[in-house]
Structures are given as structure tokens and as C-alpha cells.
Amino acid sequence: MDYHTFTAKLTGRNSRSRKIANHTTLHRIDDSTIAVQLHSTDVITFHEDGRIVFDSGGWKTSTTKERMNSFSPARISQSRGSWTISIGTVSANFADGITWTGKRWTNTGDDPSKAVKLAKRAAKFARDYMSAFDAGKVPAPSNVDCWGCSMKTADGKTPMGGADHILNHMKEKYYVPSLLQRAIERFPVAPVVMWYISDKWAGTDNVPWAAGIGKEQLYKSLYRFCKAELGLAA
């Protein structure tokens, strides 16, 4: 699959764009550029000269990976928070903006071992956060909260903080309610878990089985959120 393959799909009344999968559109950017757009991100951009650019938009999800695998000649594999991208026998560490020139990869990512270490830090932070939460040491939401977690970007989709902000939370062991709220917005949990949260912030006792489910699901949600904010595959 290349620029010319998708040019043939943009004809007639669909000459500018057409839907090709759920939440996924093929659209023409200009006379020499076509992109596969997932939600609002051009995850694959094909240039007439043969270059192909890959960009997760910070959302290294299974859906993003599936679209890249389905609508490009590349194959992406995941291991412990990092992606590897390959075309034929030529592989590279994934990074947003990574480009296939037709012969080699440019704008490649870091050594995967860094991602493994960072994922381990995120896992420990999420576990420690949940220990503090279960002990009643994370207060209910209030005006005195972390601005980077409380405020959102102009598109209303992501917290203002970003990767550096999450790293500071991890370093300072700074456990705030807005961080948990953002995590479950992006990675939802079961209704019974919301009950567990409500009881904790109300200062009432939890039903043991609900608390067990709550702690584990919230840990997973928070861990995935931290990884996503750090640019790791969630």
C-alpha cells in the first residue's frame, strides 16, 4: 500500500475523503499527500515521492496500531510499553513522526530498554498511589488540586500537564484526586468501582469485595494513563 494505491480510492464524489473504517477516514491533504486519519490524527501520511510518515498523536492504543498495520505496508509489534515498526526486514523503534523513505527509517525512537524502565516506574507509582488512596490519604476533589491534572488542553481531550508533569508526580509521590479522575476518563472502570471511589471520598466503609475490585481496576486505569502520558504504549 502506498500513495498511488490510495489515490485510486479517492475518486468521484469521494475525491477528497472517504470513510474506510470505524472513526477512520482517508483524506487528501494536497495534490501530493494523502493521509489515513483516526479521529483527528493523521496516523499514516503517504507522500507521492514514496515517503510514509507514522504518528500516533500520543495515543499508542491497540486501535492505532491496528490501523497502521491494516492501511500501510508496515507491521507494528508491542513489547512492554514500546513499539517496533518494520517494513520487510528493516525494523526500527517507533516514535511519532517516524518516516519510511522507501529504503530506511528516519526519526526513529529511543532504545526500548528506556521504555521498560519508565513503565516499571509508572507501575510502582500507580501501586503506591492506590495504597495511599485505599488508606484514605488521597482527598476528595476540591479547589486545592493539581492544575496540570485539573485543567485540559483547548481540545478538551487531554490534561495540561503532559509527560514532564507526570514524571514530577512520580518523583514527588504527589497523589491528587484529579489525576485519578483523568485516568478513568480515558480508561473507564466498572460502575462498582465508582461506588468504591464514592465511599472512600465520603469516608464510609467499603464492602470488601467492591474494594478489591476497585483497587485493581483503578490501578490498571492509572497505570495505563501514566504510560500514555509518558508516550508509552498503553
Partners of 45 in the beta sheet?
35, 53
Write the secondary structure of 140-179 as one string of H (helix), E (strand) and C (coil): CCCCCCCHHHHCECCCCCCECCCHHHHHHHHHHCCCCHHH
Digit-by-digit pLDDT tens for the chain (234 residues) are 788 888 888 888 778 899 999 999 999 999 899 999 999 899 999 999 999 999 998 888 899 999 999 999 999 998 877 899 999 999 999 988 999 999 999 988 777 778 888 889 999 999 999 999 999 899 888 877 888 787 766 655 555 667 888 999 999 999 999 999 989 998 999 999 999 999 888 888 777 888 889 999 999 999 999 988 888 876
Q: Which amino acid is located at 92 in the chain?
A: A
Nearest to 24 by CA among 79, 63, 75, 76: 63
**Measured CA angle at 211 (ends 209, 213), to 5 deg:** 70
Q: What are phi and psi of 38, to 5 degrees?
A: -105, 120
Residue 157 is predicted with a pLDDT of 55
| Residue in this structure with the C-alpha cell 464514592, named with its chain if needed | 198
Instruction: For the chain, give every domain's residue range.
Output: 3-109, 113-229
pTM here? Answer: 0.71
Residue 160 is predicted with a pLDDT of 62
Q: Which amino acid is located at 228 in the chain?
A: A
